[in-house]
Structure 1
């Protein structure tokens, strides 16, 4: 794989920008530097960037781009062989590092570096650390607040002799990449714990939590921040972002630019089309991707938005790009997240007078919503807001005319400091509020009659160093009902103008309601509404129970089944109403990425007491396993076996498997040899891969079919050198 030279494949600035003035034809114009042709010049004839040694010291050995990749604020070595021996009292050496499309020292994108006796940690400079004949070793230090990106390096030499000063400039052919440095205390992205750096910067695979609050599941994801395409895409995104060169030194502006770059809209040609339509025949479905590199590869190749992605895909790709650039990042899932576009506080659900859900009027509560977090200090804010910053690349609402959200300090979200950071108000609204049920009469008049469960629960991310879930809810919100939580919501309500409606209370509420049940492992669903009469008088309950196909965003599709009944409740007795749904009766009536949601309402005739609730259910996934066969050798093909067991009570049809992993030639879109996998059947598929890099790697396999999706598995493999 060849090193990268500066060229059009990575440029993305507008064509109206002037060309880079720091090139061969205009060096004299920019710097006043003139090349003299005399033979006694001190000319570099060979420059060794010590790539292997430097990359190892800078934790960049795994990057597949072969160029020198270093982290800012940290020293690196260069060996320079000159055309003759260095004469200390007659020769001088200086360096220049150049970045950006319009480099200038005034913009910070041309950095002149002079020799010093002692290097200062986190500041630009170099010293001669070795000299043997015509071979010189330079130790170069970069600024801990330097612009990150792709640099050109120039070595300037001067000789003072009888004929005056003679100067020479050498331009190194290969670009040098400078990244953020979580290992350096002077860098804004510094992360103190090595285990956390290993997880949030170096780990190439991870886990995404999906499903529903009551039954969530996990699927593996290949971030692939060291893949060749990931660094190319990350630098390309910065080039296209139109943020000033100096702003690339700031993780706040870089993170915001990455977030904006994820969304493909009519205005912004971003990386991913976001779609929840359930119709993906013209491209790749959101759930079919196994990792980020395949998405980035298609984007860089076509320069068009890739179809399709959803919130967790967008968050995962954002995490990849941030880790590629050296910013610690992770994916975070919030269950029962609110899409409350008017920040009104209550989440409204509406019912007709005949107790049918009016879902077209409802606020959306997402079964789950995934965003990314990035770690850095906030020098742009008052003290106390450093650490994890939430950034949500999913296009839900415009901010400043573009689809972007964050970075918002997680601490500000917790405290309800809605004026701090970017879109903190929106992130706060996703996590706070409660459902309010309204009954709507034929003339459109509404009556609020019952409150529901709070939103924003079980906020989850992958635990450091383990395949396990870590609950980070306490970092985002205080415990429900606590004095701190009430105080925060009251303050936010004043700032946002939130107002909760007064609920209509009936004279008597003597019936206790409880909804139980859910899906079995085979996909059959059984839901029971238990009603207990607590008084010595009989009651009659009018009950509606409906099962609807609902996207995980809370948008309803079709009604799958309904039950209406009049239930007699004897004095001091209990009675039930049940809704049963066989897997075969509904699985082909919904999209594979939608859930089943129960809408339940009951009204007591004698007292007018009403009960209403909305509950989403997530099916258990079929079992997927991946195992290696034999020995894996770098550069050679090897086989893995993917085993699928159908645990549902219906056949699985149109099944597709994809396998990916660090340094692998991926296998995408492999159709199962069997067109239909029967209930209880176990099948095996052999997939051939090739490894580009040695070491212990984690393979990721994903499966989807007509009936269900987001089925994943992972396994470690040790790739050895031949």
Structure 2
């Protein structure tokens, strides 16, 4: 009798990918999620006799080996690897073919496995290499610690491959499109490599694998690996304004280019990143690993260097903000939230966890932050892991403002409301920001449209007349009030400074002063205007620190009011032919359009990208665009898969490095 042998094994990738919601994840291996059966079809050389022939599946994770026994039941125990034969009629065309279902526990280790089939028949052993499979976390499985009960949340926080990162200020939010790119070529395999080259894996690979069932552990490894401060991480941060040795952080449009460059350079850090780049790349990695993730922006985020929950700011007597002190308030800071159970903390702290890959402080010996339960931050549970005191300070610190002259403090005020003014993320199925401030803070303050301050017999209010727009003059008013029964002579000093989102202001771009006479209890409104030519050299973020000082000439008493605002950029418009009939795998035509609103001619490079829409970016050179002139360019794209996708365009201008953006979400119909 001829010995029974294995003839072939089919990994049934199409069916498995559909059932495991891993369609579109491009990998060199089968991609499945833990806690859910996946299908194999095995071809034998003859009839397989279960009572005579012994079949074993073996899954290898580097040096770890898991023998997967076969059971007769199609409801095997969920706590261990098992396999079972599908019951049913024999296929007459393939009488010696069998369907096998392999089930991993919901706590299985995340990684890239090699699968081998061992057959021990009456004529001896026979083995066959099945091939690799990548095992991910499973937010569709209730037994998995990353389970999300809501399908719309799974669509947004796991499957969605584009997003919007919010910048600017709380009163004037800027939408920055970002491609997470988890379905792009090579990205999933790179995300798995990231775990392999981490310090944890290099130090003790067995311990690293043993802990890879826990998303808490995985998220801490990833948080450290996104920055390169103490390992061979993905990104090198740079806030110096000198980016000649790499790419300006504002020029990145998505995670795919960054991750591929990191691998192609043999794990040398990609230059350069800032907070939104770190957060965007981390969100990509976590979604690719199957851990629900979203990018979060906190406006007026405190960086409290001495941990006393007080941020100190200094102004001159003329209203110029001074670069003193190590504390700072970033106009915005971007981090990540990931959804997971926290069995290590007890009941009540499951759900969204803060993770911040921007290198700021060490946690457990590495530059990483979190995961910290959002609820624990709100309740100030500072003894809980991980890094809750740091995150709490980011959204809750007080601001003490000093006016100084020759080392002497002239006035001081405390603002308990500015830090953590607004915390938001992209809404479910929408491009609008969702306000999640109340999940971090018990009290949510509504910032008044007029910034005012009172000291002694004077009060001052500062009000922007309208949202500032590039190319238009900035208009604002100062309200001065005499609160006493005597006539006052008051000097008004106004100062506007350029600033970066994460630094104190630099040079003064505009200033003015006036001498005002006020009758008892009189108020006056003073109108001011900053012409567009005076702020034309502002950098990419278009941020301004505006301050007004009133001084009682007789008493030398002073009062200060300040406001930081951003100037709205123009947008690139994207128009698509037959927008309601975009079909997967069919070529489409789109048009990008930009009109120069500046008072000077501009040139630069216009880049169009879209995850799942464009294989490569479309590039157009804008040679010389005079004020008021318009440029239009057509390009073609072919959607890979059905669903909601995003096209986004960037115009990087050569004369000042500013980046103008635009985006359009589209619905792709099945082919």
Verify same fold: TM over 0.5. Answer: yes
Among 671, 674, 697, the alignment partner of 2:623 is 674
In 1: Cα distance, 2:398 partner to 2:143 partner: 43
Among 206, 215, 220, the alignment partner of 2:163 is 206
1:564-713 matches, cutoff 5 A: 564-577=513-526, 579-588=528-537, 590-607=538-555, 609-629=557-577, 638-667=588-617, 670-679=619-628, 681-693=629-641, 697-705=645-653, 706-707=655-656, 708-709=658-659, 711-713=661-663
Match of 2:17 in 1: 55
Greater mean deviation of Cα atoms: 54-63 or 242-251: 242-251
**SS of residue paired to 2:117:** strand
Give the C-alpha shift of residue 568 in structure 1: 2.5
Could you list the per-position Cα deviations for residues 433-458 of structure 1 after superposition, in whole angstroms to 9, with x for gaps in the alignment? 2221123353x454662123431022
Match of 2:191 in 1: 234
Could you tell me whether the CA contact under 8 Å between 1:327 and 1:374 is conserved in 2?
yes
Could you tell me whether the CA contact under 8 Å between 2:458 and 2:559 is conserved in 1?
no
1:301-316 matches, cutoff 5 A: 301-302=264-265, 303-316=267-280
In 1: Cα distance, 2:396 partner to 2:289 partner: 33
Match of 2:81 in 1: 124
In 2: Cα distance, 1:415 partner to 1:210 partner: 27
Could you tell me whether the CA contact under 8 Å between 1:665 and 1:691 is conserved in 2?
no
**SS of residue paired to 1:185:** coil
In 2: Cα distance, 1:85 partner to 1:98 partner: 28
When normalised by structure 2's length, the TM-score is: 0.90
Match of 1:456 in 2: 420
Give the C-alpha shift of residue 122 in structure 1: 5.5
Greater mean deviation of Cα atoms: 343-352 or 411-420: 343-352
In 2: Cα distance, 1:137 partner to 1:223 partner: 36
Among 176, 182, 194, the alignment partner of 2:133 is 176
Match status 1:104 vs 2:60: no
In 2: Cα distance, 1:233 partner to 1:405 partner: 22
Among 487, 499, 502, the alignment partner of 1:538 is 487
Could you tell me whether the CA contact under 8 Å between 1:655 and 1:675 is conserved in 2?
no
Match of 1:477 in 2: 441
Match of 2:119 in 1: 157
In 1: Cα distance, 2:255 partner to 2:649 partner: 13
In 2: Cα distance, 1:94 partner to 1:178 partner: 19
Match of 2:179 in 1: 222
Gaps of 5+ in 2: 202-207, 447-452
**SS of residue paired to 2:631:** strand
Could you tell me whether the CA contact under 8 Å between 1:247 and 1:253 is conserved in 2?
yes
Match of 1:249 in 2: 213
Task: Rate the CA distance shift 1:217–1:69 in 2: closer, same or farther, 3 A.
Answer: same
Could you list the per-position Cα deviations for residues 536-558 of structure 1 after superposition, in whole angstroms to 9, with x for gaps in the alignment? 21123333321111101133232
Give the C-alpha shift of residue 201 in structure 1: 0.6
In 2: Cα distance, 1:296 partner to 1:634 partner: 26
**SS of residue paired to 1:557:** coil
Gaps of 5+ in 1: 1-38, 483-504
When normalised by structure 1's length, the TM-score is: 0.84
Give the C-alpha shift of residue 474 in structure 1: 0.4
Task: Rate the CA distance shift 1:523–1:232 in 2: closer, same or farther, 3 A.
Answer: farther
**SS of residue paired to 1:438:** strand
* TM-align CA RMSD: 2.6
In 2: Cα distance, 1:359 partner to 1:599 partner: 15
In 1: Cα distance, 2:523 partner to 2:348 partner: 54
Match status 1:513 vs 2:460: yes
**SS of residue paired to 1:413:** helix
**SS of residue paired to 1:307:** strand
Give the C-alpha shift of residue 719 in structure 1: 7.1
In 1: Cα distance, 2:215 partner to 2:626 partner: 48
Give the C-alpha shift of residue 520 in structure 1: 3.4
Task: Rate the CA distance shift 1:663–1:237 in 2: closer, same or farther, 3 A.
Answer: farther
In 1: Cα distance, 2:50 partner to 2:363 partner: 58
Match status 1:137 vs 2:94: no
In 2: Cα distance, 1:74 partner to 1:539 partner: 78
Match of 1:30 in 2: none
In 2: Cα distance, 1:641 partner to 1:473 partner: 38
Could you tell me whether the CA contact under 8 Å between 2:26 and 2:187 is conserved in 1?
no
Match of 2:396 in 1: 432
Match of 1:409 in 2: 373
Task: Rate the CA distance shift 1:676–1:385 in 2: closer, same or farther, 3 A.
Answer: same
Task: Rate the CA distance shift 1:569–1:366 in 2: closer, same or farther, 3 A.
Answer: same
In 1: Cα distance, 2:527 partner to 2:621 partner: 38
